Structures are given as C-alpha cells and as structure tokens.
Homo-oligomer: A and B are copies of this chain.
Amino acid sequence: MTFNKRLKAYVEEIDQYLKNALPKEQEIPDVLIQSMEYSVFAGGKRLRPILLLEAIKCIDENKRAQAIPLACALEMIHTYSLIHDDLPAMDNDDFRRGKPTNHKVYGEGMAVLTGDALLNYSFELMLNNVPFNTEREKDNYIRAIQEIAKAAGIFGMIGGQTKDLECENQGLNFETLQYIHSHKTGALIRASLRAGAMCAGANEKQLEALTLFGEKIGLAFQIVDDILDIIGDETKLGKRVGSDDKNKKLTYPSIYGLEESKKMVEELLNEALKAIELFGAKSEFIGELGKFICIRDY
C-alpha cells in the first residue's frame, strides 16, 4: 500500500475510534453532542493520534489498544483549542478547513462550552480507561496522561496561545516567535510522541529519540505552515491565505526568507529521521509521516 493510502486508512481508523469515544447518552443536551461532533469531524488530519499510535508501534505494539483513549483525547484537545482560537475574541476566523467555524454555526456561547466540553471530556476519556489491572501499565498510562495534561496547559499550548494573543498586532521579536511556536503547536505534538512512548513502557533512550523526533517535526510543521501561508493555495488550505501577514505576525519566512526557511525544514526533517533510526523498520511509517508533514503541497 502506498503511504497516501495507508494514511487515508489511518485517518478513517482514528475517525472510527473518535466516533466510538464520543458520548451518545440521551441525558446530554443534543446541541452539545452535535456541536462537539461538528468540530471533531470537520476534516482534521489526525496528526496527533497517529503520532501517538506510531510511537507505540516503535516500542511495543501490544500496548496499542490501551493507548486509543489517549489518541482520541489528543485530537479532542486539539479540536477544542481550534474552536476557542477561532472565536471573535481571539483570532476571529469564520472558516476552518473550508467549513464555517463552530461559533459561526452554533453561536459564540455554545462554542465556548463546546471547547470546554471537549477539553473536559478528553480527561474523562483518559481517566475512565486507566488500566487498573496491572500496576506497571497503570503507572505508565498515568504518566502519559500527565504528559498530555502538561503539554495542553499553561506550560504548553495555553501558554503559547496566551503569548500569541498578547502579542497580536505587535512587532514580535524572534525569541517570542519561537516561544509561541514551540508552545502553541509544538508542545502537543511533542507530547503525542512522549505519551505514546511512556504508555508503551519506553526506556530512556527510546523516550529521548521520540522526544527529539517530536520536537524537530513540531518545529518543521510550524515553519511549513508559515511557508504555506505565503505560497499556499487558498482552496487547499480552506482559509484566507496571507492572513498571518495581514495580522502583522512575524514568521520564519519573513525573517529568513522563503528559500532559507525551506532549507531549515529539510534539515529538521533529516534530524528527525536520524533520531528514530534506532527503531529500524518499526519506524518506517512514522518516518514517512514526518516527510509528509514537511513536504506538504509546496
């Protein structure tokens, strides 16, 4: 099977997990379930769940089933952050992935609650699937939840979102740009790899390798986003091209130029691939995924 076919099958698999994971109970207001589903199934790439499951594969494939709630939780956390980010009080985006954003469909109040609901539910999902039977696995699993929680919060994603909001329409220095990148997007990508590794019982060396892969790919992902925002095709991205420029946001291409930025992505990819060499054939797909992230459509 080609990489693209395998990736498509993977996304469908994750979608099925997410469908099973989302609540169906009668007692919950219908509009809340609908709004959660609307955003969770709005065409996400499922990058974080796939990274987590591939990290598992690198270490111990037998822990895969156990890790599925963690994978779904990562996607829910990512989705909630987009819903809140798109709000008028934040980035004020009307479209995402070519579809109206949550608050355009359900209203601002519901969008706030839907984000809250997804964040809270991601923890419920992870906590309700703690493997109570085996001590070692239980401790590993809890450490994986801790890792995700930290990356999603003030020390990670929310810290990055705050700095981004704080510096909107201001001239950024490069240090601040790096902080925003590594926290707003990088932290959760890094945590996807680390949580997978932890859950599968990785040793120190394995954990370090996957952490490094996550850091390199996470940064590359962001630089690629910056590049695509300049040269990307409006239809493909499903959002206004050049919006970062319009909001006077500092980007890698605006500092280093387009060609140099592309070269940086290439270097980051090479470093990422080198980091996971120790896993041999087990890391084949995750390596392909790294390439896919770095070479998206340009």
Q: Report B-chain residues with C-beta under 8 Å of the C-beta of A11.
A: none
Protomer copies: 2
Q: List chain A positions with a Cβ less than 8 A from chain B.
A: 23, 25, 27-29, 31-33, 36, 80, 84, 87, 89-90, 107-113, 115-117, 119-121, 123-124, 127-128, 130, 132, 135, 138-139, 142, 145-146, 149-150, 152-155, 158-159, 161-163, 165-166
- Closest partner residue, chain B, to A167 (CB atom): B29
Is the Cβ of B113 less than 8 Å from the Cβ of A158?
yes
Q: Report B-chain residues with C-beta under 8 Å of the C-beta of A120.
A: 119, 149, 152-154, 158
How many whole Å from A6's CB to the nearest CB in chain B? Answer: 33
Is the Cβ of B113 less than 8 Å from the Cβ of A142?
no
Is the Cβ of A159 less than 8 Å from the Cβ of B116?
no
Is the Cβ of A108 less than 8 Å from the Cβ of B89?
yes
Is the Cβ of A29 less than 8 Å from the Cβ of B142?
no
10 contacts between A and B (CB under 8 A): A23-B155, A28-B159, A32-B162, A84-B112, A84-B113, A90-B113, A115-B116, A117-B154, A120-B149, A124-B150
Known: A90-B109, A146-B127. Is A154-B121 also a contact (CB below 8 A)?
yes
How many whole Å from A243's CB to the nearest CB in chain B? Answer: 17
Q: A89-B109, A132-B142 are in contact. List 7 more A-B contacts (CB 8 A).
A: A29-B163, A36-B154, A112-B112, A120-B154, A124-B146, A124-B150, A127-B149
